[in-house]
Amino acid sequence: MDTQEYDALEIRCPKLGHQLRFSYCRKEQSDLPCARSLICWEGRFPVSRFFQETLSDRQWNDCFEKPPQSKVVSLMELIEKAKKAGSEKG
């Protein structure tokens, strides 16, 4: 199968709660796939091999190797970002 064929495959996304195509998962974080892509898709096609071939080592690390952040910590970061956005807006 090639990328186009994989892109057409559908799955139920546990994050969003509805059917989605791999084309969405592949770019969920803009230049990176969704961090759940391996766990969601590995039973459907060899997705780890696919990303090993299509992502750089840095991208693979950024997406799949970094330990996930706790919710509270990610909210802290968003609060800081939002405060900055608010002050720039004046």
Number of residues this chain uses to bind other proteins (CB under 8 A):
53
Q: Check binding of 39 to other proteins (CB under 8 A).
A: yes
Residue whose C-alpha is closest to residue 13's, from 28, 32, 1: 28
CA–CA dist 43, 84 (Å, integer): 42
Strands (DSSP E) along the chain, which ranges?
10-13, 18-21
Q: Check binding of 22 to other proteins (CB under 8 A).
A: no
CA–CA dist 24, 64 (Å, integer): 17
Q: Binder to other proteins among 2, 11, 22, 58 (CB under 8 A)?
A: 11
Query: Where along the sequence are the contacts to other proteins (CB under 8 A)?
Result: 10-20, 24, 28-30, 34-36, 38-46, 48-49, 52, 60, 64-65, 67-68, 70-83, 85-86, 88-89
